[in-house]
Amino acid sequence: MSSNSSENASNSTHNSYRYAIFMETNGEEFESWYNFIRYEGNEDALQHLNKQIEKVDFHILDDMSTFDLDLEHLVSEDTACHMCMVDLNAFMFHRKFNGKLQKIDFGFSRKDDNEDRIEKFHEKLGFGDIDKYVDGEEEFKDDNESVSSRSSRSSDSDLSDDDSLRSPSPSPPSSPSPPRPSKKKGNNKDGKKKKDQ
């Protein structure tokens, strides 16, 4: 096979990745943040997260967040990239993750009422803390071009044994533009505002 044919096959495979949308809606900021999580290789962890979500009747409670996950309407990588460039929120951009999602447990107990479960979800994942459980966040600049991935694309090897599913690392431009500034507020090292302990 020629080098061009190999490259085209690799690009075709890369573009076939699909992304589930994990949405956080925050009662303090009055915003919804979409987290595009790669579906291929994360099926079990996403199904596990969805089962946890289904145990909660979410509604806005004080300044906490609600959460939802759509596994029925997966989107293409191009759609996920374009959505991450939408500039509507004041607190945080939408985000895209290409890496491995961990199975997340919230420690629900039988004595928990619905509000207890909302609080446990918020304490673990609120204000964008899904990034503590999934790697490979992709960064973007204002001309809609990917800048980098926070975690190595080598995490793809954890997602599938099939080498054809590898995500090729983007070639850096000769004169890269700086990443767009984060809209996350706060003074902590991650730049994220945290609920008072």
- Per-residue model confidence as pLDDT tens digits over 81-135: 999 999 999 999 999 999 999 999 999 999 999 999 999 999 999 999 999 999 9
**Residue 156 reports pLDDT greater than 60:** no
pLDDT of amino acid 25: 97
**Local confidence band at 16 (pLDDT 50, 70, 90 cut-offs):** confident
Q: How far apart are CA 93 and CA 140, in angstroms?
A: 10
- Per-residue model confidence as pLDDT tens digits over 160-172: 444 433 343 444 4
Q: Identify which of 196, 163, 197, 184 has the alpha carbon closest to the alpha carbon of residue 29.
A: 184
**Residue 192 reports pLDDT greater than 70:** no
Mean pLDDT check: name the lowest of 5-19, 67-81, 157-171: 157-171
Residue boundaries of the structural domains of the chain:
18-165
Q: Identify which of 88, 39, 20, 32 has the alpha carbon closest to the alpha carbon of residue 58.
A: 32
